[in-house]
A and B are shown apart, each in its own frame.
Chain A
Amino acid sequence: MTMTGLVLDKGFRNNVKQAQRENLRTQIYALLATAELDDAEYLKLPQQNMEPRLNISESTLHARVITANNKIVWQSESMLNTKIPFTDNYKVGEFSFFDISTNEKSFTSVNFAAVWLTVEGEDTYIFQVAENKNVFDSQIYLFRKNLWGWLAGVSFILIVIQTLILRWGLKPLRHVAEDLIKIEKGKEKNLSGEYPKELTPLTNNLNQLLNSSQQQLTRYRDALGNMAHSLKTPIAVLQGIINTTSSKDKNVALEQLGTINNIVEYQLQRAATVGRLQLSEATALQPVIQKIINTLQKVHKDKNIDIKLDTPSNIAIKVDQGDLYELFGNLLENAFKWSNKKVSITAQQLSEKVQIIIEDDGPGINENEKNRILLRGQRADQDTPGHGLGLAMVNDILLLYRGEIAIKDSEMGGAKIVIKI
């Protein structure tokens, strides 16, 4: 739009300039037509001219005729109070145009030299006409005002129209983007909305990608599960065989077998969490906690533990369901194991995270143990079987989902585990 404006502006200016020059030429021709030699062979021009602007003082058009040695032969009425710095350059028979200016005004002028034959020889007379540029400038100013005004108006309308078209045109893409956010937040599993047919190849491909990564994850986990199964049964058999022997190395063998088992277990669980997709769905917290509690109540039936459960049913966490089970299974199992009679679970939605507090009335955790538990990346084989592994797993899961764990002392007497995830 600006380019168009500039081109039009330049074109118009040239045009006006050309028109002005044409006008100056015409003035010269008119002066030439009225000039004639008198009896004394001096050039004479009538004082009153055909062009009215030349006859008014302080007008915008000025003219004079001089001799080759700068003697004024004739000048128009309009020259009376105006001093115009005409240029001296001329060529006989040619129009020479100049831009000249005084302190206040600027002019376009033309010089034309003509030769008159006299008895004595020939005399050269220079015809000079100047026109105030204001005329030209005001025309250009008016044109520019109109031009840029219109161009700005048209540009604005075009931009508005273009924005509307873009908005309308990009609506399906925005729809896709919104659906993708839903998937990211775990509210949807795939792109299920209605999209224009131009976008269906894209959405189909995205869905395929989502499905295939889900399937891959499932296959990966199944493979790991099967591997765990196939490794652990032989370990159990070996353990049984070693148990029935009476060799003096029995304990060493059992210990080594225990270490192998811990490593297998830890690495398998770790591998299962590392491969986790970021596009996992949000899992409702309450059903998971409730199921784990039911399980633990059954296992620790003799303890008859009194559970205080306060988890709002609308809390969902963007953590894979299996990981959520692992996280709270391990934490709650410890709480049940160590508690005397009471376990309390409270969950609360914070602005971005969910805070879950698990407390029990057991013996609590001493300071050294607290530090040990919080120490990340601890090797599984250094842990006591069945105890450290679970907590190492808790740490791994929290690390993966950028969660936090804090261990405090509960008012109930035992440990107070605060999870933010």
Chain B
Amino acid sequence: MRLLIIEDEPNLREQLQQYLQKQGYAVDVAEDGEAGFFMGREYPFDMAIVDLGLPKLSGIEVIQKWRDIDITFPILILTARGKWEDKVEGLEAGADDYLVKPFHNEELLARTRALLRRSAGISQPTIKFNSISINTSQQSVTVADSELELTAYEYKVIEYLVMNPDKVISKTELTEHIYEQDFDRDSNVIEVFVGRLRKKLDPNGSLKPIETLRGRGYRWNLKQINSDEVTGTS
């Protein structure tokens, strides 16, 4: 999952970036409203964290402009102004949640995960498919109750596929959502990740969770169980 942070305070920006990277997200940052708006418009993020008091273009304006051009990723507002009028204004502009500064990193992480899940139409932190179970809070995957050893990138791939079920995802799309913008990418790596994931998830080849569609990409093929707990997609 790839996140965009727009925050003008350099220390806080760096802290947030490092913290969320450590939590397994690809994180791009922008230091003002204009640059942030541009990045959100040009690159495929899964979510944005936007400070309201930004130079050049305010957080509210950035959100409004994104929503005007039908950019739909969830947006979490960071605001120093804890006033309700500001919160209402932010959410009316198109944001999905708000967090008042200062905040605990754990709270930010919980909100981020909740928003990402919600936008994928998943209500519980743990997503289950037959014998495979993915815990988005702990970023762990278990197959038949035994936990798999996955690298950070392998987890990112499976999480992205699971969060976009029934959708064909090209290698480029996968790359864009698991790497940051200035990362030196090699789309062949994706094939390697997917190959390794198949072996780990489905060692005897009976489930076939990741389907390859030639020349188009991959698709997560398993149906989620406990579907009664699933809320409608946003």
Contact = CB atoms under 8 A, between A and B. Distances in A.
A302 B80 contact: no
A225 B91 CA distance: 19
B12 A298 contact: no
A322 interface: yes
Given A241-B15, A302-B231, A325-B88, A229 B81 contact: yes
A261 B91 CA distance: 24
A304 B118 CA distance: 12
Interface stretch (B94-102, B137-145, B149-157): B94-102
A301 B117 CA distance: 12
A329 B80 contact: no
A229 B53 CA distance: 8
B66 interface: no
Contacts of A238: 102
Interface residues of A, number: 36
A59 interface: no
A230 B9 CA distance: 10
Contact of A232 (B11, B80, B92, B98): B80
B130 interface: no
Contacts of A230: 80
Contacts of B104: 239, 243
Nearest to A258: B102
A241 to B, nearest CB: 7
Given A229-B81, A232-B80, A232-B102, A237 B88 contact: no
A387 interface: no
A322 B83 CA distance: 8
Nearest to B106: A243
Interface string A240-258: 1101100000000000010
B87 interface: yes
A304 B97 CA distance: 15
Interface in B68-117: 80-85, 87-88, 91-92, 96-98, 100-105, 114
Contacts of A240: 11-12, 15-16, 19, 105
Interface in A223-280: 225, 228-233, 235-241, 243-244, 257, 261, 265, 269
Interface string B108-140: 000000100010000100000000000000000
A76 interface: no
B188 interface: no
Contacts of B91: 294-295, 298-299
Interface string A310-333: 000000000001100110111000
A243 B88 contact: no
Nearest to B232: A304
A230 B51 CA distance: 13
A167 interface: no
A291 interface: yes
A292 interface: yes
Contact of A325 (B83, B96, B114, B231): B83
Given A235-B101, A235-B102, A299-B97, A304 B231 contact: yes
Contacts of B83: 225, 269, 322, 325-326
Contact of A225 (B12, B16, B81, B87): B81
Interface centre among A230, A231, A240, A257 (most CB of B within 10 A): A240
B29 to A, nearest CB: 14
Interface string B203-234: 00000000000000000000000000001001
B105 A243 contact: yes
A288 B85 CA distance: 9
Interface centre among A233, A261, A330 (most CB of B within 10 A): A233
B96 A298 contact: yes
A298 B9 CA distance: 28
Interface string A167-180: 00000000000000
Interface of B: 9, 11-12, 15-16, 19, 53, 80-85, 87-88, 91-92, 96-98, 100-105, 114, 118, 123, 231, 234
6 contacts: A233-B12, A235-B102, A239-B102, A240-B11, A244-B15, A302-B231
Interface of A: 225, 228-233, 235-241, 243-244, 257, 261, 265, 269, 291-292, 294-295, 298-299, 301-302, 304, 321-322, 325-326, 328-330
